[in-house]
């Protein structure tokens, strides 16, 4: 089975849309947390085929978008130090800090390289013994296990010139903050499929048990999303607040025990700042004592004061789903993909980037 394209079948999509239009006429607010869901919903024009009573709200599930500006500025300071090679995922290159961006630093001649996996940094470290490699470890539970694997291997192989600037975050705590927010009225969640592939579905049980809010884990193809929405609307209409898994080809209830074991071996859970949202307890990851040596910001003694965002930028409210990008005064005027003010515009999963690139109001 060709997984990607089987789940884009137009005939099945049409049937799912018809079903969705016939379940309930009540006004329903559904938050899709994950940035990849945001992009997929736009990419396939799913909002165009939804009944008018279903309102999809984009949430803060974009790791680049929620990384504080202070982190960006800290790594920009780091990347200009002597003998440093900065290795990063591609999305981070153009995120603006107060002092520019990684892309600009690369243009200025500093050694900044895009990697697809942190494991590439092991080879980089071995091939460049006189350099210090700093990997920017940004991402949720989906990608943090790769950092864990890499640092475990680095320690085992006695690699001394590889470091990690960690900014990994945990999703369920921010969802609790959102479901408690009285200004938002979230009736249900479309749960992030790839985060769930690692952590399973149990970490979301609190939504059902404590807040009477159902959630459906779904994948990222159009049929996945439409099926997930069908299931959610059915649950809401029956006042059934369960957490359900509609992505069984990837997600197990227990998640990925191996990945979780690696995370537990390397990280402590700490409080963390989310850009535009604020400090959320127990929502971040930091290396534990055994791997503290590899913490780049500690090793290079980079001062890190917490601050957030640019004047006028309303990424925070957009990330919480309180406003749409078109409500931000900078959107498409001062802030565009070519000249991003906020991270929501530059990330490949950012809500503002999705609106700018795909939205039907532009058609």
**Which of these segments, 139-147, 255-263, 265-273, 314-322, binds other proteins (CB under 8 A)?**
139-147
Q: In this structure, what is the dihedral angle of CA atoms 107, 354, 178, 314, given to the nearest 10 degrees?
A: 60
Which of 17, 199, 217, 244 contacts other proteins by CB under 8 A?
A: 17
Residues 239-268 that bind other proteins (CB under 8 A): none
Mark residues 161-200: x for contact with other proteins by CB under 8 A, - for none.
Answer: ---------------------------------x------
SS3 content of the chain, % helix, strand, coil (to 5): 45, 20, 40
- Contact between 13 and other proteins (CB under 8 A)? yes
The residue behind tokens 């929501």 is 344
The strand pairing partners of 101, in sequence order, are: none
CA 143/CA 150 separation, integer angstroms: 11
41: CB partners within 8 A, 6+ apart: 32, 47, 56, 225, 354
Nearer to other proteins, 15 or 160 (CB): 15
Query: What is the nearest approach in angstroms of other proteins to the Cβ of residue 239?
Result: 29
Q: Which two tokens stand for residue 351?
A: 């809500």
CA 31/CA 17 separation, integer angstroms: 18
The strand pairing partners of 136, in sequence order, are: 165
294: CB partners within 8 A, 6+ apart: 151, 154, 155, 162, 163, 164, 287
CA 177/CA 174 separation, integer angstroms: 5
CA 29/CA 229 separation, integer angstroms: 11
Residues 80-119 that bind other proteins (CB under 8 A): 89-94, 114, 116-117
- Contact between 142 and other proteins (CB under 8 A)? yes
Mark residues 205-244: x for contact with other proteins by CB under 8 A, - for none.
Answer: -----------------x---x------------------
Q: What are phi and psi of 198, to 5 degrees?
A: -90, -50
Query: What is the nearest approach in angstroms of other proteins to the Cβ of residue 351?
Result: 15
Which of 21, 55, 104, 120 contacts other proteins by CB under 8 A?
A: 120
Give how far Cα 174 sits from Cα of 61, 137, 242, 255, 283, Å: 9, 19, 19, 19, 7
The residue behind tokens 């694997």 is 149
- Contact between 22 and other proteins (CB under 8 A)? no
Which of 4, 82, 183, 239 contacts other proteins by CB under 8 A?
A: 4
Mark residues 42-61: x for contact with other proteins by CB under 8 A, - for none.
Answer: xxxxxxxx------------
Query: What is the nearest approach in angstroms of other proteins to the Cβ of residue 159?
Result: 19
**Which of these segments, 12-20, 79-87, 176-184, 310-318, binds other proteins (CB under 8 A)?**
12-20
318: CB partners within 8 A, 6+ apart: 58, 276, 324, 325, 328, 344, 351, 352
Nearer to other proteins, 114 or 269 (CB): 114
Nearer to other proteins, 198 or 296 (CB): 198
Nearer to other proteins, 212 or 326 (CB): 326
- Contact between 10 and other proteins (CB under 8 A)? yes
CA 299/CA 163 separation, integer angstroms: 8
- Contact between 8 and other proteins (CB under 8 A)? yes
Give how far Cα 13 sits from Cα of 16, 21, 37, Å: 5, 12, 16
**Which of these segments, 2-10, 200-208, 265-273, 281-289, binds other proteins (CB under 8 A)?**
2-10
For other proteins, the binding residues (CB under 8 A) are: 2, 4-5, 8-10, 13-14, 17, 36, 42-49, 63-64, 89-94, 114, 116-117, 120, 138-140, 142-143, 194, 222, 226, 337-338, 348-349, 356-360, 362-363
């Amino acid at each position: 089975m060709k997984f990607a394209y089987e789940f884009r079948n137009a005939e099945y999509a049409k049937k799912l849309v018809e079903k969705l239009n016939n379940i309930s006429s009540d006004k329903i607010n559904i938050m899709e947390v994950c940035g990849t869901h945001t992009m997929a919903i736009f990419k396939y024009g799913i909002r165009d085929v939804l009944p008018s009573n279903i309102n999809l709200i984009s949430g803060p599930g974009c790791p680049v978008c929620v990384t504080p500006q202070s982190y960006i500025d800290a790594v920009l300071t780091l990347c200009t130090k002597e003998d440093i090679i900065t290795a990063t995922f591609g999305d981070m290159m153009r995120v603006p800090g107060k002092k520019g961006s990684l892309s600009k630093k690369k243009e200025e001649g500093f050694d900044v390289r895009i990697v697809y996996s942190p494991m590439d940094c092991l080879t980089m470290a071995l091939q460049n013994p006189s350099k210090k490699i700093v990997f920017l470890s940004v991402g949720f539970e989906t990608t943090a296990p790769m950092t864990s694997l890499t640092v475990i291997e680095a320690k085992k192989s006695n690699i001394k010139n590889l470091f990690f600037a960690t900014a990994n975050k945990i999703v369920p705590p921010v969802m609790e903050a959102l479901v408690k927010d009285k200004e938002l009225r979230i009736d249900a969640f479309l749960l992030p499929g790839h985060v769930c592939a690692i952590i399973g579905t149990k970490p979301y049980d609190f939504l059902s048990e404590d807040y009477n809010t159902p959630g459906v884990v779904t994948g990222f193809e159009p049929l996945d999303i439409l099926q997930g929405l069908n299931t959610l609307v059915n649950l809401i209409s029956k006042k059934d607040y369960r957490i359900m898994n509609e992505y069984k080809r990837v997600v197990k209830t227990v998640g990925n025990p191996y990945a979780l074991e690696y995370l537990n071996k390397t990280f402590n859970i700490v409080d963390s700042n989310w850009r535009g949202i604020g400090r959320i307890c127990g929502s971040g990851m930091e290396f534990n004592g055994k791997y503290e040596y590899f913490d780049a910001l500690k090793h290079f003694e980079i001062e890190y004061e917490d601050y957030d965002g640019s004047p006028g930028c309303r990424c925070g409210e957009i990330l919480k789903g309180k406003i749409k990008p078109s409500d931000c005064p900078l959107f498409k005027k001062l802030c565009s993909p070519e000249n991003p003010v906020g991270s929501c515009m530059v990330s490949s999963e950012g809500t503002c980037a999705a609106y700018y690139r795909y939205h039907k109001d532009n058609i």
